[in-house]
Amino acid sequence: MRLTDRQRTLIRATVAETFGPEANVWLFGSRVDDSKRGGDINLLIETSRIDVDAIARAEISFLTKLQMKLGEQKIDLLIDYPSRKTRPPILSIAKQSGILL
């Protein structure tokens, strides 16, 4: 995994702060592979929140706070939640191929 201990700690703390302590976060994509270089930070957040407006506000808050903590980074974010009407395949792929932080 190509994240430092500090980056992992900041990501987990920011997820808990914005989505709640019960939320889980996975790193997926090229940053999971130690042999690769560069790449976006691809995250999947799984939350128990069901209000789509609250989730959207949390997403904006999360990205803003994380950018301030990590510095300028390209961060791609997927969010899964119980009230989602459809489940795109990328959610399962990200969870299965990712690493729970």
Q: Are the C-beta atoms of residues 79 and 55 closer than 8 Å to each other? A: yes
pLDDT per residue of the chain (101 residues) written in tens, 0 to 9:
678 889 999 999 999 999 999 999 999 988 786 667 767 899 999 999 999 999 999 999 999 999 999 988 899 999 999 988 899 999 999 999 999 99
Which pLDDT belongs to residue 22?
95
Which pLDDT belongs to residue 40?
86
Enter the tokens of residue 51: 């209000």
Which pLDDT belongs to residue 77?
94
The 3-class SS string of the chain reads CCCCHHHHHHHHHHHHHHHCCCCEEEEECHHHCCCCCCCCEEEEEECCCCCHHHHHHHHHHHHHHHHHHHCCCCEEEEEECCCCCCCCHHHHHHHHHCEEC
| CATH H superfamily, domain 5-100 | Beta Polymerase, domain 2 (3.30.460.10)
Which pLDDT belongs to residue 34?
67
Which pLDDT belongs to residue 31?
73
Where along the chain do its domains lie? 5-100
